[in-house]
Amino acid sequence: MTKADIVNEISKSTGIDKISVQKTVEAFMEAVKGSMTSGKNVYLRGFGSFIVKKRAEKTARNISKNTTIIIPEHFIPSFKPAKSFVSAVKTIKK
């Protein structure tokens, strides 16, 4: 499902025009990105959490050159679904 599909689905189910829904969806995504880039997590009860994970410094190997490099500590965005969300997905039958 793409962002356009989400906008169409919300527009159909609520009766709100697509332009308003698209602006709202984009504003939501910008709010989540802004919060996470400032180091804050976003918690949506019943859906999941958008969290910032810290990756520790580590040593890696470049096999072709037979050298080691140090990858510095960094942060990555992550999503952790709520338990109810996970259980709903697990019950899908294909």
- CA distance linking residue 24 with residue 10, whole number of Å: 11
> What value does the CA radius of gyration of the chain take, rounded to a whole number of Å?
19
Task: Establish how many alpha carbons lie within 13 A of residue 89's alpha carbon, considering only the half-sphere containing its beta carbon.
Answer: 8
In the three-class reduction of DSSP (H, G, I as helix; E, B as strand; rest coil), residue 23 is classed as helix
Q: How confident is the model at residue 94 (pLDDT cuts 50, 70, 90)?
A: confident
**pTM of the predicted structure, to 2 decimals:** 0.78
Query: pLDDT by residue (tens digit) across 7-66?
Result: 999 999 999 999 999 999 999 999 999 999 999 999 999 999 999 999 999 999 988 999
